[in-house]
Chains A and B, each alone.
Chain A
């Protein structure tokens, strides 16, 4: 099972690949849309890639609740 730190690192890699986000900018308090400029479609790509990477199922209805990187980390840690 992945630690919070490992999930943040993994998400940073995904964000770089999907949306060109600088990994150094990724930390738990950052908002996907406001701070990292990730739009709704990129967010779907991030979710799909995160499911593959961490083996967590992230339902469509849950995606809108994942406002910050920390929200996503908590969900993944609890569900993988």
Chain B
């Protein structure tokens, strides 16, 4: 049966325990804490040890599922956004379904790099609206450390590992949708490339910075407009944690209260498709976003791709 819309029931996240500081990186490449903090805003990041993308996705999904009040038997769709999984088949979504004991669900991976979670969430929302699913696990998970060139000081200080997950369910009849209309698109460019074998992330930093500072505000404002929410009324703003120098001016430009902006990049680095659900899950855990308040998600990155939507905080 089709539904009027979907809503997020719960979030969960996972971060590896190993903390890598800027000083640690300064031992490996020619960089320093002051440069990294002033250019990117990162103080430390988490780097996985033996955990795979599927392991981290599974841990985050397990927490989200437990917090949602549903069980594995309820889930009929699993979508994993990732651009760093080395194992191609079974895909990460099937591996997560297997770990959690989800049987018979539609399960697929989706790669739009850093905008992945917002794309995946839109896909789940659309599937639920169409009646193709009722309860979905939507996950962003990355092990960027395995596709990072650890001798490239322009990228190895930025990227990190982690996962975030959401349980998304059909709204009841007459209930207001909790996942707003998506604004998405692409502007093909190789400014962020993960190519060949062995693939490493190669980024033209200034080009990406320019594109992001120009594009992200438009996506953010369009997503707010489609949802009928004024930026000043947002209870949370979770842009992809790309660079503090991108997200702080972005919040200012669109008129969001700086107090509701997620700055998880400071302690987590840039975790691509995982960054949005990871950051929002942590904000919710710390009690920083009120249940029911509108939260703007804006993903942007490799492709180049972008996607954004306003969601109601579970």
For the complex, is A60 an interface residue (Cβ under 8 Å from B)? yes
Tell me the complex Cα distance, A39–B243, Å.
Answer: 15
Tell me the complex Cα distance, A41–B209, Å.
Answer: 7
- Residues on B with C-beta less than 8 A from A45 are 213, 249
Q: Mask for B95-127, Cβ within 8 A of A = 1, else 0? A: 000000000000000000000000000000000
Interface size class of B (residues with CB under 8 A): 10 to 19
Tell me the complex Cα distance, A28–B37, Å.
Answer: 30
A19 nearest CB across to chain B (Å): 11
**Interface contact B209-A44, CB-CB below 8 Å:** yes
For the complex, is A47 an interface residue (Cβ under 8 Å from B)? yes
**Interface contact A41-B214, CB-CB below 8 Å:** no
**Interface contact A60-B210, CB-CB below 8 Å:** yes
Q: A45-B213, A48-B213 are in contact. Are A39 and B39 (CB under 8 A)?
A: yes
For the complex, is A40 an interface residue (Cβ under 8 Å from B)? yes
- Residues on A with C-beta less than 8 A from B214 are 48
Q: Is the interface of A mostly helix, strand, loop or mixed?
A: helix
Tell me the complex Cα distance, A41–B213, Å.
Answer: 10
**Interface contact B38-A47, CB-CB below 8 Å:** no
Interface size class of A (residues with CB under 8 A): under 10
- Residues on B with C-beta less than 8 A from A41 are 39, 206, 209, 243, 245
**Interface contact B207-A60, CB-CB below 8 Å:** yes
For the complex, is A38 an interface residue (Cβ under 8 Å from B)? no
- Residues on A with C-beta less than 8 A from B243 are 41
Tell me the complex Cα distance, A41–B214, Å.
Answer: 13
Tell me the complex Cα distance, A40–B213, Å.
Answer: 14
For the complex, is A77 an interface residue (Cβ under 8 Å from B)? no
A66 nearest CB across to chain B (Å): 13
- Residues on B with C-beta less than 8 A from A40 are 205-206
**Interface contact A63-B206, CB-CB below 8 Å:** yes
Q: In the complex, which residues 170-220 of chain B have their Cβ closer than 8 Å to any Cβ of chain A?
A: 205-207, 209-210, 213-214
Q: Mask for B29-59, Cβ within 8 A of A = 1, else 0? A: 0000000001100000000000000000000
- Residues on B with C-beta less than 8 A from A63 are 206
Q: A48-B213, A48-B214 are in contact. Are A60 and B206 (CB under 8 A)?
A: yes
Q: Mask for B203-243, Cβ within 8 A of A = 1, else 0? A: 00111011001100000000000000000000000000001
A51 nearest CB across to chain B (Å): 9
23 A–B contacts from the bound complex (CB under 8 Å): A39-B38, A39-B39, A40-B205, A40-B206, A41-B39, A41-B206, A41-B209, A41-B243, A41-B245, A44-B206, A44-B209, A44-B210, A44-B213, A45-B213, A45-B249, A47-B210, A48-B210, A48-B213, A48-B214, A60-B206, A60-B207, A60-B210, A63-B206
Residues in A lying within 8 Å of B, measured CB to CB: 39-41, 44-45, 47-48, 60, 63
Known: A40-B206, A47-B210. 6 other contacts (CB 8 A): A39-B38, A41-B39, A44-B210, A45-B249, A48-B213, A63-B206
Residues in B lying within 8 Å of A, measured CB to CB: 38-39, 205-207, 209-210, 213-214, 243, 245, 249
